[in-house]
């Protein structure tokens, strides 16, 4: 596929007709040999993708794009590496906002992108040993119809009025451009402020399903300096920092 806009932003971009998982494939390459920083692997047909919390991620061929980017920030601290998923989530939020007019595009902590409250994109970071490299995967719903959507709370770009013409290249270039800009700057205080401003989770009543299996109910009040979501617990008002969990925005009628 000809992707002139995307390759102008990311010279080390490879587009493949099909991949089991772009994250797994790029991580395997990084583990077996030197892969340059900001190497990109993308496809519109991913057959065995992985989502957060161990979920599978699949879509009809040609209707979505899966893109993985290898990130190896020079001299990065563990704190900086922990911020990469939020950095990528912010990049995708901004990219989708440039493509869509007249709709609210927000980031749901830690890295889902919503259009008017419906999920259009999800991201997943995977650490590659020895530990200084992150493969940042993203899936974006491009042209899925309402009948093809995986859940009732999903959406796609074309369902929100985005023209389908040349959409793969336009969407990929927008995301990679935003990601490159944020990654090159990597200013943590500025990044934290920008993520907080774009994050629709902050200020919301939430339920957080924690990795241990417990549910935390409360109000999301902030994102701390480590990228964790700070939740004021409903029962006793204590502040609980959450590093990982499945967040549901609650609506009370």
Q: Rounded mean pLDDT of 211-233?
A: 97
Query: Are 41 and 163 part of one and the same domain?
Result: yes
Position 20 scores a pLDDT of: 94
Number of domains into which the chain is organized: 2
Q: What are phi and psi of 24, to 5 degrees?
A: -65, -40
Separation CA 217–CA 245 (nearest Å)? 12
Q: Rounded mean pLDDT of 208-227?
A: 96
Query: Are 118 and 239 part of one and the same domain?
Result: no
Q: Rounded mean pLDDT of 63-74?
A: 95
Query: Are 161 and 96 part of one and the same domain?
Result: yes
Query: Are 122 and 233 part of one and the same domain?
Result: no
73-120 per-position pLDDT tens digit:
988 888 889 999 999 999 999 999 999 999 999 999 999 999 999 999
- 253 — pLDDT class (breaks 50, 70, 90): very low
Q: What pTM, to 2 d.p., does this model score?
A: 0.94
Separation CA 139–CA 121 (nearest Å)? 5
127-158 per-position pLDDT tens digit:
997 678 999 999 999 999 999 999 999 999 99
Query: Are 186 and 220 part of one and the same domain?
Result: no
Separation CA 124–CA 54 (nearest Å)? 10
Q: Is the dihedral of CA 40, 46, 48, 52 positive or negative?
A: positive
Q: What is the CATH number of the domain that holds 242?
A: 2.30.30.100
- Looking at every residue in the chain, the average pLDDT score rounds to 93
Q: Rounded mean pLDDT of 245-252?
A: 89
Contact 46, 57 (CB under 8 A): yes
Q: Which domain holds residue 105?
A: 4-198
Query: Are 211 and 129 part of one and the same domain?
Result: no
> Which of 168, 183, 198 lies at the terminal end of a domain, its last residue?
198
Of 137, 156, 136, which Cα lies nearest the Cα of 146?
A: 156
Crossing angle of helices 78-99/188-198, nearest 10°? 40
Separation CA 38–CA 51 (nearest Å)? 21
């Amino acid at each position: 596929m000809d992707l002139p806009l995307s390759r102008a932003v990311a010279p080390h971009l490879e587009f493949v007709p099909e991949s089991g998982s772009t994250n797994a494939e790029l991580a395997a390459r990084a583990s077996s040999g030197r892969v340059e920083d900001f190497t990109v692997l993308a496809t519109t047909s991913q057959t065995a993708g992985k989502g957060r919390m161990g979920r599978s991620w699949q879509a009809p061929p040609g209707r979505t794009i899966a893109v993985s980017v290898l990130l190896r920030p020079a001299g990065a601290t563990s704190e900086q590496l922990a911020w990469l998923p939020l950095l990528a989530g912010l990049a995708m939020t901004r990219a989708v906002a440039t493509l869509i007019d007249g709709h609210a595009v927000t980031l749901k902590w830690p890295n889902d992108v919503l259009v008017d409250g419906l999920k259009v994109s999800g991201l997943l970071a995977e650490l590659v040993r020895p530990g200084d490299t992150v493969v940042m995967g993203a899936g974006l719903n491009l042209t899925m119809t309402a009948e093809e959507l995986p859940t009732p709370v999903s959406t796609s770009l074309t369902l929100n009025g985005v023209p389908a013409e040349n959409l793969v290249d336009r969407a990929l270039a927008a995301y990679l451009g935003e990601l490159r800009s944020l990654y090159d700057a990597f200013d943590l205080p500025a990044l934290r402020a920008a993520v907080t401003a774009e994050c629709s989770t902050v200020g919301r009543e939430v339920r957080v399903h924690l990795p241990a299996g417990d549910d935390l109910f409360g109000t999301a009040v902030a994102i701390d300096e480590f990228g964790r979501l700070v939740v004021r617990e409903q029962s006793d008002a204590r502040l609980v920092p959450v590093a990982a969990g499945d967040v549901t925005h609650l609506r009370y009628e």
